[in-house]
């Protein structure tokens, strides 16, 4: 059979891969455009998925931050500092319901500015809360005030000291909803380290969602809850690093 002029079969093959070099290939520009469009579609799909799923993930995370424990009776309700009196109110309600025998108010020994006290000097938030509790029907002998703590960790140390001295068997920690998870981990760890097997049972309590100033649902739409979630997230990481207190403690 006659051969093609100027060429033979061997000269048409690529010496490296054994293919014909003249096989039709997609133009480089078209290939780049297809890769770009494919990447763009993937990016759009990811953004849409995040937009659809993010409310569920964000709400799930905020709900995880909120914990509450069932209990019948306890020796004391500990009203942690902060939250504009909401925590004290929840502790007073427990007292009036007969679920606790006493109220312990903890926090920092910081005096309130005289402009807010009518000129009275040295009035702390703890003392102001004690007076409010008395006006709301709590007997003076059933209220304790211990002001030496400026953080959740220090408040746990204060409670461990008082609980060991008073011989309490069950303690209710009253705080804000988004603070409950970290507070429970902190109090369990500190009281275990300080009191060992003699530590009291720890229960968490907060005002019901709807009455509380904090609502985990759609928290990212409100400044106060957004700050609270961000703060708790940062402090959980800090407590794990500084105190070896983990969310599952």
Mean pLDDT for the chain overall? 88
Residue 137 is assigned to a structural domain of this protein: yes
Mean pLDDT of 230-239: 96
Mean pLDDT of 114-121: 70
* 156: containing domain: 74-207+231-242
What is the predicted pLDDT for the residue at 4?
A: 44
Mean pLDDT of 116-125: 77
Question: What is the DSSP track for 57-76?
Answer: HHHHHHHHH------S-EEE
Instruction: Inform me whether the pLDDT recorded for 231 exceeds 50.
Output: yes
Alpha-carbon distance 89 to 87, whole Å?
5
Residue 235 is assigned to a structural domain of this protein: yes
Alpha helices in 106-169 (DSSP H): 125-135, 152-166
Alpha-carbon distance 243 to 233, whole Å?
15
Residue 2 is assigned to a structural domain of this protein: no
Residue 173 is assigned to a structural domain of this protein: yes
Residue 30 is assigned to a structural domain of this protein: no
- Per-residue pLDDT band for 235 (boundaries 50, 70, 90) equals very high
Mean pLDDT of 10-24: 49
* Residue 188 or residue 3, greater confidence: 188
Mean pLDDT of 222-227: 95
Tell me the CB-side half-sphere exposure of residue 135, using CA atoms within 13 A.
8
Looking at the structure of the chain, the number of domains it has is 1
Q: Which helix (H) or strand (E) holds 105?
A: strand 100-107
What is the predicted pLDDT for the residue at 7?
A: 46
CB 90 within 8 A of CB 213: no
Helix 223-242 to helix 180-195 angle (10° resolution) is: 30
State the residue for tokens 């940062």. 234
What's the Rg (C-alpha) of the chain?
32
| Most confident region among 20-24, 111-115, 242-246 by mean pLDDT | 242-246
Structure tokens at 29: 């520009």
Question: For 176-207, what is each residue's pLDDT tens digit?
Answer: 999 999 999 999 999 999 999 999 999 999 99
Q: Which helix (H) or strand (E) holds 172?
A: strand 170-174
**CB contact set of 78 (below 8 Å; sequence gap of 6+):** 91, 103, 104, 106, 155, 159, 171, 172, 173, 174
Alpha-carbon distance 204 to 183, whole Å?
8
Residue 160 is assigned to a structural domain of this protein: yes
- 3-state class (DSSP) for residue 98: coil
Instruction: Inform me whether the pLDDT recorded for 27 exceeds 70.
Output: no
Instruction: Inform me whether the pLDDT recorded for 91 exceeds 90.
Output: yes
- Per-residue pLDDT band for 12 (boundaries 50, 70, 90) equals very low
What is the predicted pLDDT for the residue at 9?
A: 47
Residues in the chain: 249
Residue 48 is assigned to a structural domain of this protein: no
Instruction: Inform me whether the pLDDT recorded for 21 exceeds 80.
Output: no
- 3-state class (DSSP) for residue 212: coil
Strand partners, 205: 174
Report the CATH number at residue 185: 3.40.50.620
Instruction: Inform me whether the pLDDT recorded for 156 exceeds 90.
Output: yes
Question: For 43-77, what is each residue's pLDDT tens digit?
Answer: 888 777 766 878 999 999 999 999 999 999 999 99
CB 181 within 8 A of CB 149: no
State the residue for tokens 């914990």. 67
Residue 97 is assigned to a structural domain of this protein: yes
Which one, of 124, 123, 133, lies nearest residue 85 by Cα? 133
Mean pLDDT of 204-214: 96
């Amino acid at each position: 059979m006659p051969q093609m002029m100027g060429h033979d079969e061997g000269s048409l093959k690529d010496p490296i891969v054994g293919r014909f070099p003249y096989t039709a290939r997609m133009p480089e520009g078209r290939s780049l455009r297809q890769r770009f469009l494919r990447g763009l579609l993937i990016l759009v799909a990811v953004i849409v998925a995040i937009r659809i799923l993010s409310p569920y993930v964000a709400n799930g995370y905020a709900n995880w931050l909120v914990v509450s424990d069932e209990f019948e009776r306890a020796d004391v309700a500990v009203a942690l500092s902060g939250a504009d009196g909401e925590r004290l109110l929840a502790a007073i309600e427990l007292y009036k319901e007969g679920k606790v025998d006493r109220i312990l108010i903890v926090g920092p020994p910081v005096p309130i500015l005289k402009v807010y006290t009518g000129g009275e000097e040295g009035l702390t938030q703890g003392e102001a809360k004690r007076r409010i509790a008395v006006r709301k029907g709590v007997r003076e002998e059933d209220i304790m005030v211990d002001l030496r703590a400026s953080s959740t960790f220090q408040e746990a140390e204060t409670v461990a000291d008082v609980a060991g001295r008073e011989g309490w068997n069950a303690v209710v920690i009253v705080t804000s909803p988004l603070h409950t998870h970290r507070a429970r981990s902190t109090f369990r760890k500190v009281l275990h380290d300080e009191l060992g097997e003699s530590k009291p049972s720890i229960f968490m309590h907060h005002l019901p969602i709807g009455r509380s100033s904090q609502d985990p649902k759609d928290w990212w739409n409100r400044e106060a809850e957004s700050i609270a979630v961000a703060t708790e997230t940062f402090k959980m990481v800090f407590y794990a690093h500084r105190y070896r207190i983990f969310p599952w403690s």
